[in-house]
Structure 1
Amino acid sequence: MFSDEEDVLFSDLKLEDDTNYFLYIGEIKTDALNQFVKENLARIHNKKFDYISILPDVMESYPHKNVLVINPLARSLYAQTSKKFSCRMSAGDFAGVVSYSSTVLELVRMLVRKQGRLYVHVFESLPELSFTRMPGVVLLGPGGQVASMWNNKLYQLQMLKDAVPVIDYKVCSGVGEMVQGTTSALAEWTEGVFVSQPYSAAGTNSFIVRSMSDLNSRLPLPQSTYFISRYVPHEHDPTVLGVVGNEDDVFIAAIADQEIEGGNMFRGSTFPSVLPYKDQLEIKEHTRMVGRVLGRSGYRGIFGCDYIVSNSGRIYFVEVNARKQGTTMEMCCTLENLLPQDAPTLMELEYFAVTENRLPENKMEIQEAISDLYWRTYNFKVDREVVTKYFLPADEDERELFRQVKRNGVEYKMIIMEHVGHGCPVKPGTFLGRVVAVSRKREILDREIKMGKQLLEESITSME
């Protein structure tokens, strides 16, 4: 139901007396991870647990009960038009409005009084999420300050330049210096120049320049610090997920191949990586080294590392993602189906890293080659203002999708997750939905992803 609270757009809270609750703060695209968190907390504490999701996503329906939606722009648009607009918020803005929400703060205080302790699970730890520093609140993730520090791309390059192979780069203190630096760099770096601000993700605040006309088409740009680096032609964009327990204990989950559009825009991943085994070993060891450096700075929890493999076969570090990555759910499902039943999940590894400064002794990494479990994802973002014509429901749970293919002998499955619903105006840059394909054969994945993308495209029409 739509909420009467001034700071909440939608709420359907209905809590049970015999249940302990934790909060999830983040987008709907990683909400499914809470299944693993819930099971982990129940097992460790021998109590019944459930979760309350605080989301910015405006949708026709949600996959479970106990949801709070906070999105000031969507609420303002609803007040003006009586329409439920789907529009994204930056992670920092969302964390800020959640922390200042009187509804959320009242809920936090009530749960701490009732339970004595309130766990908070996040997709990304941010300094703006200030209520996580209240007495009785335990953040299941790295501290917001240290995570924010590591998500600064310039800080990463400076701290890791002697630990992993980084691409040549130059720091520019403003737009004018960046333009001058790019102009001179194009003479030296003839394949192109990669331009980025210190904080960027999934293609925002970064772009590739191959000529001055490319750069001129981007102007004017905001006054900011920039760094420019040599663009390295490549075909492979591997990404690795890991967990930092401490500076001496880093867990490596698996390597997937990213799908990058336009040179810098992440759209999805494919597992397992097609890279040769020796390259994968090298990438894992680079990531383990990055995790150790993160650990020395006080970082505890899940992180990701992105790389490129040049056309000549050289591996270069690109960036650290000091947070969960977009394919963390798929990695959880992969480990669940490829490791022994008693092996800890990624969420359990993060719990022990954060609460006990260590990883559990029974942790286990994937060692052997994968032969009968393949998956691919695609995040469908709209690039124009559209309205949905109908709802594409997910007919089953993503976790069950993996189980059916790996354990029950099903050859392949494809589902569309998190579709916004029927009759919903969608703002540019917003996720319309996410396609997940799982198969016992790699060659099936492309066909299923193509079908999912087509279904999503057919579910929308341009705004009149």
Structure 2
Amino acid sequence: MDGLIEVKLEKDLLSNELEYFFTFLCDRFEYAVELWIKELEKKFNKKFKPIWILSSKQNDLFKKENFIIINRLINKFPKENVDSKLVCQEEPEDLNKYFSESEFIKGLIEKLVRKQGRVFILPWTSSCLKAQNPQAIILGPGPDVAKKYDNKITQVELFNELGLLRNKVQIYNNFKELKKNVKFPSFISASYTSGGFENGVINSKDKLDEYYTRVREENKGGKFISARLIEDVKHSPNVNAIVFEEGKTEIICISDQILRGCKYLGNIYPSIIDKKSKKAIIETTKIVGNHLSKKGFKGVFGLDFIIDSRGNLYTIDLNPRRQGGYVCNILMALPKVSLIELELKLALNEKIKNIPSYEDFQVDYVWAHLKLKPYYDFMKIVKITNKNRVDTPFLEIGKGFKTIFYPKGYRFFGGGVGYAIKSGNNYNKVKEDLIKDIEKILSTHLDLYTI
């Protein structure tokens, strides 16, 4: 089953002079598509247009000419919870898989290749993505190496191999073994997770059984890990970096993660960690990036860290893909560096003559971004907001951007219902103002309270 919900394509898509490409970058990443179009048009001197691959419709995308909605998750909900106004988000890896398995998509790619000679695919992550055609070019790291290092078990083994300081972790071959041997409380994770999904702090066997019901099928038969709780967390820094070639990794930015419990919501730049920790993070990231480069990885990736109250630095998570702050990373670097131009050259296997340094990406102001993540599943959107453009906080320091992606009256399951960015000159003020703004939106624009 393809899981196709809706297909909307221009009637002359196969006969006009435009070149079409597929993109999975929607919601908080949508603005990056505008910049990718400009870069592709500059590179090839012709007009490009996207075909959006979505789990659910968005307000803005209703008006756009080409989109394909793919969703199998929605069939797993009780019928009384499913109607035309349910926004149900697939995990990115699952959406990649369904895209790759679709006979309709395969046929469309073949037709576009006959028309254009090639088809670009712009994903958020390359993991579980198959091009389906030798003339389909993925604008990101190779799918095989991305999937390999997307696996949390592989990451534990990699960090051990590289001699990196990490938390005490136990690997279990299956859930039965985990349930029999795990000690509570522990941080539990399935093999493939991102953004705090399918992992978390578990305090009892009942909670462990409840956790297992939320695990996706591809993870249920796989390995699990349990990690010792680090209860005296002082900072949770994140690094964005880019692998240019074998042995050449550069840092894009170091920021602090903003979390709700174990759930990732966003980042604030620059990180306020001390110089010693910053130096260690840069060194660790280059060690990991250079190792990835030997395995054929090229492009952007990220690492999550934890620093405890004693100053110990733990390498926690490897993200072999674009991360949540991707659009902010692009905008902070402009106009000095075009991150997209670099990514395009890497995808086309072109040599980059002038590789930018860490300093080339840095700015002298603070920015932060946050997902508008509902507190509970199936909350209803009761009010819409849309203020400024995504790039406004980077062009006018001190201003912000905020939006809700989906229509009023819709209920929401998974991911973020909206997005906000704020810039300024004071770390604490930017963080506090943005969090207050987000909490206000969640309490007034969703049905959190009924009167």
- Shorter-chain TM-score above 0.5: yes
2:294 counterpart of 1:296: yes
Counterparts of 2:270 and 2:430, CA distance in 1? 14
1:415 to 394, 398, 401: 401
Cross-structure match for 1:155: 154
Cross-structure match for 1:453: 439
Counterparts of 2:303 and 2:352, CA distance in 1? 19
Q: Deviations over 1:380-401 (max 9, x none)?
A: 2341312222322x34321243
Q: Deviations over 1:172-206 (max 9, x none)?
A: 223343244433xx6xxxxx532222222222222
Counterparts of 2:250 and 2:440, CA distance in 1? 37
Counterparts of 1:368 and 1:19, CA distance in 2? 33
Change over 3 Å in CA distance of 1:372–1:29 after alignment to 2? closer
Partner SS, residue 200 of structure 1:
coil
Q: Deviations over 1:126-176 (max 9, x none)?
A: 33x33x140321111122121111011111121232422222222222334
Cross-structure match for 1:218: 208
Partner SS, residue 437 of structure 1:
strand
Q: Deviations over 1:287-317 (max 9, x none)?
A: 1111111111111211111111111011110
Cα drift, residue 27 of structure 1: 4.3
Cα drift, residue 368 of structure 1: 9.2
**How many residues in Structure 1 have an aligned counterpart in Structure 2?**
434
Counterparts of 1:7 and 1:244, CA distance in 2? 35
Cα drift, residue 379 of structure 1: 3.8
Cross-structure match for 1:97: 98
Extract unaligned runs of 5+ from structure 2: 213-219
Counterparts of 2:74 and 2:192, CA distance in 1? 28
Cross-structure match for 1:409: none
2:233 counterpart of 1:234: yes
Cross-structure match for 2:6: 9
* Paired residues of 1:244 and 1:292 also in contact (CA < 8 A): yes
Q: Deviations over 1:327-383 (max 9, x none)?
A: 11111111115xx2xx3x222222222322654424242269753343332342341
Cross-structure match for 1:196: 189
Cross-structure match for 1:276: 274
Cα drift, residue 261 of structure 1: 2.1
Cross-structure match for 2:23: 24
Counterparts of 1:231 and 1:74, CA distance in 2? 32
Counterparts of 1:324 and 1:287, CA distance in 2? 15
Cross-structure match for 1:334: 332
1:347 to 340, 343, 362: 340
Counterparts of 1:296 and 1:461, CA distance in 2? 50
Counterparts of 1:368 and 1:198, CA distance in 2? 33
Extract unaligned runs of 5+ from structure 1: 187-191, 406-411
Aligned residue runs from structure 1 range 120-131, under 5 A:
120-127=121-128, 129-130=129-130
2:374 counterpart of 1:381: yes
Cross-structure match for 1:324: 322
* Paired residues of 2:188 and 2:199 also in contact (CA < 8 A): yes
Change over 3 Å in CA distance of 1:389–1:293 after alignment to 2? same
Counterparts of 1:435 and 1:49, CA distance in 2? 28
Counterparts of 1:226 and 1:357, CA distance in 2? 39
Change over 3 Å in CA distance of 1:370–1:332 after alignment to 2? closer
Partner SS, residue 217 of structure 1:
helix
Cross-structure match for 1:433: 418
Q: Which amino acid counterpart does residue 121 of structure 1 have in structure 2?
A: L
Instruction: Name the TM-score, length of structure 2 as normaliser.
Output: 0.86
Counterparts of 2:100 and 2:325, CA distance in 1? 26
2:394 counterpart of 1:402: yes
Cα drift, residue 59 of structure 1: 2.7
2:358 counterpart of 1:361: no
Counterparts of 2:59 and 2:280, CA distance in 1? 45
Q: Deviations over 1:27-81 (max 9, x none)?
A: 433222212222222222233333222111333432862341413358879x997
Q: Which amino acid counterpart does residue 8 of structure 2 have in structure 1?
A: S
Counterparts of 2:434 and 2:403, CA distance in 1? 14
Cross-structure match for 1:170: 170
* Paired residues of 2:195 and 2:264 also in contact (CA < 8 A): yes
Cross-structure match for 1:62: 61
Instruction: Name the TM-score, length of structure 1 as normaliser.
Output: 0.84
* Paired residues of 2:388 and 2:402 also in contact (CA < 8 A): no
* Paired residues of 2:246 and 2:293 also in contact (CA < 8 A): yes
Aligned residue runs from structure 1 range 75-114, under 5 A:
83-114=84-115
Counterparts of 2:326 and 2:354, CA distance in 1? 22
Q: Which amino acid counterpart does residue 402 of structure 2 have in structure 1?
A: I
Counterparts of 2:358 and 2:244, CA distance in 1? 14
Q: Deviations over 1:198-237 (max 9, x none)?
A: 222222222224xxx5344222635642222222231211
Cα drift, residue 445 of structure 1: 3.8
Q: Which amino acid counterpart does residue 200 of structure 2 have in structure 1?
A: F
Q: Which amino acid counterpart does residue 440 of structure 1 have in structure 2?
A: N
Q: Which amino acid counterpart does residue 421 of structure 2 have in structure 1?
A: V
Partner SS, residue 399 of structure 2:
strand
Counterparts of 1:354 and 1:82, CA distance in 2? 40
Cross-structure match for 1:258: 257
Cα drift, residue 403 of structure 1: 1.4
* Paired residues of 1:378 and 1:449 also in contact (CA < 8 A): no
Cross-structure match for 2:309: 311
Change over 3 Å in CA distance of 1:358–1:309 after alignment to 2? farther
Counterparts of 1:461 and 1:358, CA distance in 2? 52
Change over 3 Å in CA distance of 1:87–1:6 after alignment to 2? closer
* Paired residues of 1:435 and 1:449 also in contact (CA < 8 A): no
* Paired residues of 1:374 and 1:441 also in contact (CA < 8 A): no
Q: Which amino acid counterpart does residue 229 of structure 1 have in structure 2?
A: A
Partner SS, residue 88 of structure 2:
coil
Counterparts of 1:82 and 1:260, CA distance in 2? 31
> Which range moves more in the overlay, 6-15 or 282-291?
6-15
